[in-house]
């Protein structure tokens, strides 16, 4: 690229960002680059970054500012609800389990022809067979068989070092993927072409430079013995760890038992808060329980971002009534909260424009019991204080990193057991494919 071309490109970028609504969010260099490449480049993108670098904010900024025709997809129902999109399965009418990519859903052809881009959140959980099917179907639907995804731009978002794709051991899916692809990761789909990786590097969750540095090394499996020593100074008995912490476990069984036992220990009568569901809203999309069991004194977690509190903030119930709940958060602030509503959408082409049509809704208090939660479900949350129980050791890639990176400070972490080198698991395929591109 010549200097004249670079100058012209800078002018275009400055003009584009001049009237950009940033939501008062700091546009660092990487975030500016991600936004500009999403809007002005024809390249397929992976917007990556460690925990707390602004990946969710990137999507919010595109939703607020972009004039392009795009759809937002996610691999799970809860992720789709949280990001304001739909699942990959529902958009393409894919079955759960093994996907027959040749069964093309022609009902979305007109909609697809209007698309400028497809945004896929939580890309790390998208399996190779799903990405292969997306690629094939878009080629068929657009009639552009020569280009990956039929020439439609793909913007994939997520940290591949946190949540790997799920393939049940011993299942037909595992055999099919093993026979058909070199790994279960989305980038193993054979004909999807190259992606440009934009790595968001500025971490907003942790301010301590040493803690950030150690977390980043653990994320990619490059930690030293001294790094583990630094983390393991936080080993402490649970009874000596104080209060107002969230217990992070590796299994649902442990988390559910802790929450139920803690609730039973509280005095008073358990009150039940029932959700209101209208239209189509499948259980896989429920953002919290359809029936909440609550008591005054129960430790809870907020599940919505507002100007007053954030998703994942911990507090306790100080009063329960028929119409609302009074909560006190860990910073001492108190609020009355009312039921919130989440929506299940589908995309339709109407009057030549892509629109979101409401299919159903789920109304419930945006809280959940939070004495304990699984490490997997804690992903995307930020906590002031966590007690981490790896049980018999971490058993999936990224598990230890996710647990440690939930907390704002090293001092807010308590460890039931020392973190061993064996607990730092980075998928071999990521080391071969992804890490060299981040160098």
156 - beta bridge partners?
46, 120
Task: Give the mean model confidence (pLDDT) for residues 261-288.
Answer: 95
348 - beta bridge partners?
355
Cβ contact 110:156 at 8 Å: no
232 & 322 share domain: yes
How many other C-beta atoms lie within 10 A of the C-beta of residue 342?
22
Share of the chain above pLDDT 70, in %: 94
Query: How far are the Cα atoms of 32, 211, 342, 364, 407 from residue 413, in angstroms, in the given order?
Result: 33, 11, 32, 31, 7
- Helices then strands, counting H and E runs in the chain, come out as 15, 20
Q: For residue 348, is it within any domain? A: no
DSSP-assigned states of every residue in 37-66: HHHH--S-EEEEESTTSSHHHHHHHHHHH-
How many other C-beta atoms lie within 10 A of the C-beta of residue 229?
11
216 & 312 share domain: yes
DSSP 321: -
| Mean pLDDT for all residues in the chain | 89
Domain boundary among 147, 170, 204: 204
Q: Tell me what pLDDT residue 332 has.
A: 92
Q: For residue 433, is it within any domain? A: no
Q: Tell me what pLDDT residue 6 has.
A: 57
Q: For residue 354, is it within any domain? A: no
Structure confidence at residue 370 as a pLDDT band (50, 70, 90): very high
Name all contacts of 106-112 with Cβ < 8 Å and 24+ positions apart: 106/141, 108/141, 108/347, 109/141, 110/349, 111/347, 111/348, 111/349, 111/354, 112/138, 112/141, 112/142, 112/150, 112/152
Q: Is the pLDDT of residue 437 over 70?
A: no
129 & 243 share domain: no
Q: For residue 418, is it within any domain? A: yes
Based on the number of CB atoms within 10 Å of its own CB, is 400 exposed (0-12), middle (13-18) or buried (19 or more)?
buried
10 Cβ neighbours under 8 A, 6+ residues apart: none
Q: Tell me what pLDDT residue 147 has.
A: 94
Query: How far are the Cα atoms of 274, 276, 368, 370 from residue 291, in angstroms, in the given order?
Result: 5, 10, 10, 15
Domain boundary among 204, 232, 254: 204
281 & 379 share domain: yes
Q: For residue 431, is it within any domain? A: no
Prediction pTM value: 0.89
Q: Is the pLDDT of residue 22 over 70?
A: no
Domain count, the chain: 2
DSSP 76: S
CA dihedral in degrees (63, 68, 69, 72; nearest 10)?
A: -30
57 & 159 share domain: yes
Q: For residue 172, is it within any domain? A: yes
165 & 101 share domain: yes
* Angle, CA of 429, 434 and 439, to the nearest 5°: 135
| 378 vs 171, higher pLDDT | 378
Q: For residue 346, is it within any domain? A: no
301 & 414 share domain: yes
Quote the CA–CA distance of 366 and 311 in Å, as a whole number: 9
Quote the CA–CA distance of 356 and 40 in Å, as a whole number: 24
Q: Tell me what pLDDT residue 336 has.
A: 95
DSSP 196: E
b vs e for 277-292, b when ≥16 Cβ sit within 10 Å of the residue's Cβ?
Answer: beeebeeebbbbeeeb
At 105-130, the pLDDT tens digits run: 899 999 999 999 999 999 999 999 99
Task: Give the mean model confidence (pLDDT) for residues 24-37.
Answer: 82
Domain boundary among 204, 220, 236: 204
Name all contacts of 269-273 with Cβ < 8 Å and 24+ positions apart: 269/295, 270/294, 270/295, 271/295, 271/320, 273/325, 273/364, 273/365
Beta-strand relationship, 153-157 and 117-120: parallel
- The two tokens of residue 55 are 């990946």
Structure confidence at residue 350 as a pLDDT band (50, 70, 90): confident
- The two tokens of residue 348 are 């339709």
Q: Is the pLDDT of residue 369 over 90?
A: yes
User: What is the CATH classification number for the domain harbouring 21?
Assistant: 3.40.50.300
Q: For residue 356, is it within any domain? A: no
Cβ contact 156:194 at 8 Å: no
77 & 109 share domain: yes
Q: Is the pLDDT of residue 438 over 70?
A: no
Domain that holds residue 281: 209-340+363-423
Nearest alpha-carbon partner for 56 in 39, 72, 43, 71: 72
36 & 70 share domain: yes
Q: Is the pLDDT of residue 5 over 60?
A: no
151 & 257 share domain: no
Cα 404 vs. chain centroid, distance in angstroms? 16
191 & 299 share domain: no
270 & 149 share domain: no
């Amino acid at each position: 690229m010549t200097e004249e071309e670079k100058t012209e490109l800078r002018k275009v970028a400055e003009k584009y960002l001049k009237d950009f609504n940033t939501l008062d969010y700091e546009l660092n260099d990487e975030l500016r680059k991600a936004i500009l490449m999403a809007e002005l480049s024809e390249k397929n993108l992976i917007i990556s970054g460690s925990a707390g670098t602004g990946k969710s904010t990137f999507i919010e900024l595109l939703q607020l500012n972009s004039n392009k025709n795009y759809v937002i997809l996610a691999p799970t129902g809860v992720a789709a609800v949280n990001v304001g999109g739909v699942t990959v399965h529902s958009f393409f009418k894919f079955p759960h389990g093994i996907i027959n990519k040749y069964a093309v859903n022609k009902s979305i052809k007109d909609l697809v022809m209007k698309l400028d881009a497809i945004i896929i959140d939580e890309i790390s959980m998208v399996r190779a067979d799903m990405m292969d099917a997306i690629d094939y179907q878009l080629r068929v639907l657009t009639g552009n068989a020569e280009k990956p995804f039929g020439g439609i731009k793909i913007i994939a978002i997520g940290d591949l070092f946190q949540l790997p794709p799920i393939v049940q051991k011993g299942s037909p899916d595992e055999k099919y993927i093993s026979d058909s692809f070199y790994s279960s990761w989305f980038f193993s789909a054979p004909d999807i072409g190259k992606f440009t990786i934009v790595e968001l590097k500025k971490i907003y969750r942790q301010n301590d430079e040493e803690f950030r540095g150690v977390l980043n090394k653990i994320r990619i499996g490059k930690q030293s013995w001294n790094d583990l020593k630094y983390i393991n100074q936080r080993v402490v008995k649970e009874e000596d760890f104080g209060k107002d912490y969230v217990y992070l476990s590796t299994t649902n069984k442990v988390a559910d038992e802790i929450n139920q036992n803690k609730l039973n220990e509280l005095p008073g009568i358990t009150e039940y808060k029932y959700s209101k569901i209208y239209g189509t809203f499948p259980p896989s999309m429920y953002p919290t329980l359809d029936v909440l069991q609550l008591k005054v004194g129960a430790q809870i977690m907020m599940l919505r971002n507002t100007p007053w509190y954030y998703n994942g903030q911990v507090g306790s119930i100080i009063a329960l009534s028929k119409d609302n709940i009074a909560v006190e958060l860990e910073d001492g602030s108190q609020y009355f909260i009312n039921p919130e509503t989440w929506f299940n959408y589908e995309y339709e082409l109407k009057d030549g424009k892509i629109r979101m049509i409401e299919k159903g809704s789920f109304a419930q208090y945006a809280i959940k019991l939070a004495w304990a939660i699984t490490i997997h479900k804690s992903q995307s949350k930020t906590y002031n204080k966590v007690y981490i129980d790896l049980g018999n050791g971490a058993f999936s890639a990224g598990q230890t990193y996710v647990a440690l990176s939930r907390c704002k400070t090293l001092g807010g972490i308590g460890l039931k057991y020392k973190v061993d080198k064996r607990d730092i698991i980075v998928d071999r395929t990521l080391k071969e494919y992804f890490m060299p591109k981040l160098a």
